[in-house]
Amino acid sequence: MAFMILISLVSKAGWEQGRDMRAKYPLGTTRVPRPRAYRLVSYLRGLGWVLAASALAVGILALAQLAFHPFDAILATAQRDLSAADKTLQGNAVAGVSLGTVVLVIIVSALPLFKKGVRRRQYGLSFWRGLLSSGIFLATDRLYRFVQGLGVLYFSATLALFVAATIVLVEIVSRAGKHDEESDTRTELLASIVSGLVFGLIVQLAENAFRR
């Protein structure tokens, strides 16, 4: 008797759920919208499974190595090769920049080009505009430090000169490009410069907080 009641309750719940689905998505609906966080949850779930499987595999291999030492020769060769690679990458390539830094920048810059879901043209355009914004910030920062070192202007006037020089350089670069991309270039350059300034301020505040 209890079993029949349970079946009846489950059937009723399923019928009500189906009725709600039919009311929400009538016959002929070709696409059911998913929750906003669906892709994030799916990605995190997949990432968790990958990390769990990797941790399990590493744990099994570590236990096998501790018990039977089957990978001694491989580990010795890998340690020797990694030491040689470290010495090479730590060597200076140009202007005090290590070869490892150059290799890292090249890899990080090229990796998005091979990633699915990255628009290559937009990536290249944003990359170029990021370089321009960095160049503009560097030029205005050098001007700011030079004028401040002269001591001929008040600090507030020096800051105003820095802001004015930044806006002028952004306008020059924006107007030098295509007319239909002028607004996009101006917006992206200003956003990059401002975000860099804000991030630098946050880093400085965090460093001061940790020193205390």
* Alpha-carbon torsion (17, 18, 20, 24), positive or negative: positive
Alpha carbons 121 and 117: distance in angstroms, whole number: 12
Give the bridge partners for 94, in sequence order.
97
Give the bridge partners for 98, in sequence order.
92
Closest to 103 measured CA to CA, from 93, 114, 113, 118:
93
Using CA atoms, how far residue 107 sits from 84, 85, 100, 113, 128, in Å, is: 20, 16, 10, 10, 17
Q: How far apart are the first and last CA of the chain?
A: 71
Instruction: Inform me whether the pLDDT recorded for 76 exceeds 80.
Output: yes
108-115 — which CB contacts under 8 Å span 24+ positions? none
Is the pTM for the entire model greater than 0.75? no
3-state secondary structure 47-64: HHHHHHHHHHHHHHHHHH
Tens of pLDDT, residue by residue over 100-111, are 888 888 999 999
Residue spans of alpha helices (H) in 69-119: 72-90, 99-110
Alpha carbons 77 and 97: distance in angstroms, whole number: 28
Tens of pLDDT, residue by residue over 123-172, are 998 999 889 898 988 888 888 888 878 876 777 888 888 889 989 999 99
Instruction: Inform me whether the pLDDT recorded for 10 exceeds 50.
Output: no
